[in-house]
Structure 1
Amino acid sequence: MIHFDRVTKRFGDLTVLDDLDLTVERGERVTLIGPSGSGKTTILRLLMTLEQVTDGVIHVDGRPFSHMPSGRKEGLVRADERYLAPRRRRIGMVFQQFNLFPHMSVLENITEAPVHVLGVSRDEARARGRELLSTVGLADKEDAHPTRLSGGQQQRVAIARALAMEPEILLLDEVTSALDPELVAEVLEVLRDVASGTDLTMLCVTHEMGFARDVSDRILMFDHGRILESAPPEDLLESPEHERTRTFLQSVH
């Protein structure tokens, strides 16, 4: 479903991703772990087209994503907005910060994008929005405004908003890092339900190792823009191959 083909990302002289070769299968749940600055979030930002690759090509569903076929000759050129727009809609992302519209109700936050981007009727979007609010345990909050919600509730709204776009790929970027500790569990429980109840391809950056163990098919340990090791959760978390992975896991437990 996702393939990074020798992707490098640099910011000036700093190489954040170094010749990355990464494949995520359709329906696979992959968690990225590693120290800050190791390139994990950059992977998600490249898939959301918030950043552009420096070298290499990203493919989604077997087709070029970061690049597009050249009209004049064989080969690829950097993708333009017209090419990216319909492909970007297949990808949903939940950020560290909730990014809800404070002047809109919870239900309006969820329905605006399906109506204006997907062309869904407002009645259909509202019905789907109410279903999703029930899924995330906020059926009684549809008329509330975000400022009246706890951080955990706001993040659950953000999850519902991402799902309302019916993505095939869901990206999760440290979705509990901005929450008070007592609110983390409620958000992770919602995401566990999403993982078990859908066939979404999921790519997750987290320091919550219990969550990574529960939802992942595979965990990747990153360090200095490279994959240090890749294994099923029980293998990587219980018996990592590299001393760097062992040191990192000790620091987050």
Structure 2
Amino acid sequence: MATDPLQKTDPEGVAPKSDAAPGHLVQFDEVVKRYGDHVVLDHLNFTVQRGQHVTLIGPSGSGKTTILRLLMTLERISEGLIMVGGQPLSHMAGPDGSLKPASEKHQRRIRKKIGMVFQQFNLFPNMNVLQNITEAPVNVLGIDRAEAEERAKELLDLVGLREKITAHPTQLSGGQQQRVAIARALAMRPEILLLDEVTSALDPELVAGVLDVLRDIAHSTDITMLCVTHEMNFARDISDRVMMFDSGRVIESGAPEKIFGDPKHERTREFLSAVL
């Protein structure tokens, strides 16, 4: 049984050991994504270990969000292989044992390991907060409604919105809606949480509250995170590893203190001098 992604760390700050298999939770192997003649990801190779927090930085258009969209199967790869939890996401085994492009059913099964918080909140306007959080666990995972509602209340405590449980999205600020979206993603008990510029649609005064919630999740749980952000201080705070992208390739990767304190690549230095 997989570790609950909201399981707390012990008093020493060490995440409890998972009984799931160790090693790569996400693996991109020579992944290419192109639109016509335009190459967005260029033979991309990287891995994310179970429990790691990895942040992707780089200029707009460098391919960062495309990586998350491929993991959510919102896009299909052009070449290469994506593995999640040791199983192919982009492909499946054919009758002769060779790999062929994955069916939608196969992708849905593997995708259950993944939750994503988008730039836009995408809450159901006709549902209140509790319903927004419990709809998918009940109807997709088949969780008992009472259990799903209890879980939703715990998650609303986590994101600081328990008092908004009966509110509808139009009654919430943008920052509150994004916190509900975070709770909704976590309600599916994903092994991997994808974060795509989750503060970019917020007014500046609302950004800090959402980032504080994500910091708390990063520091107090052992969920794996793959984050795209232009909030460099946030990236420095929550990341085990930072990857700098340019033109669909990883040009530099390392611990945040190394990337932000002593970047080796000239393009990384140029980018950081522009955004810090």
TM-score bracket for this pair, using the shorter chain length: over 0.9
Secondary structure, aligned partner of 1:248: helix
List 4+ stretches of structure 1 deviating above 4 A: none
User: Structure 2 residue aligned with 1:20, among 32, 44, 52?
Assistant: 44
Question: Which residue is equivalent to 2:99?
Answer: 76
Q: Distance in 2 between matches of 1:142 and 1:63?
A: 37
Alignment gaps of 5+ in structure 1:
none
TM-aligned CA deviation for residue 233 of structure 1: 0.2
Question: Which residue is equivalent to 1:202?
Answer: 225
Question: Which residue is equivalent to 1:238?
Answer: 261
Q: Distance in 2 between matches of 1:168 and 1:140?
A: 28
Question: Which residue is equivalent to 2:67?
Answer: 43
Amino acid paired to 1:4: F
> Is 2:197 aligned against 1:174?
yes
Secondary structure, aligned partner of 2:190: coil
**1:58-207 matches, cutoff 5 A:** 58-71=82-95, 73-207=96-230
Question: Which residue is equivalent to 1:11?
Answer: 35
> Is 2:55 aligned against 1:31?
yes
Q: Distance in 2 between matches of 1:6 and 1:187?
A: 34
TM-score (norm 1): 0.98
Summarize deviations over 1:103-140 as a string: whole Å, max 9, x none. Answer: 11011000000000000111111111011001100010
Question: Which residue is equivalent to 2:248?
Answer: 225
User: Structure 1 residue aligned with 2:235, among 212, 229, 249?
Assistant: 212
Summarize deviations over 1:68-119 as a string: whole Å, max 9, x none. Answer: 0111x23200000121112111100000000001111011000000000000
Question: Which residue is equivalent to 2:270?
Answer: 247
Amino acid paired to 1:240: P
TM-aligned CA deviation for residue 61 of structure 1: 1.3
Q: Distance in 1 between matches of 2:197 and 2:105?
A: 30
Q: Distance in 2 between matches of 1:151 and 1:69?
A: 43
Summarize deviations over 1:28-82 as a string: whole Å, max 9, x none. Answer: 11000000110000000000000000000001111211100111x2320000012
Q: Distance in 1 between matches of 2:183 and 2:119?
A: 15
TM-aligned CA deviation for residue 205 of structure 1: 0.1
Amino acid paired to 2:55: T
Amino acid paired to 1:18: D
TM-aligned CA deviation for residue 240 of structure 1: 0.6
Amino acid paired to 2:218: A
Secondary structure, aligned partner of 1:100: coil
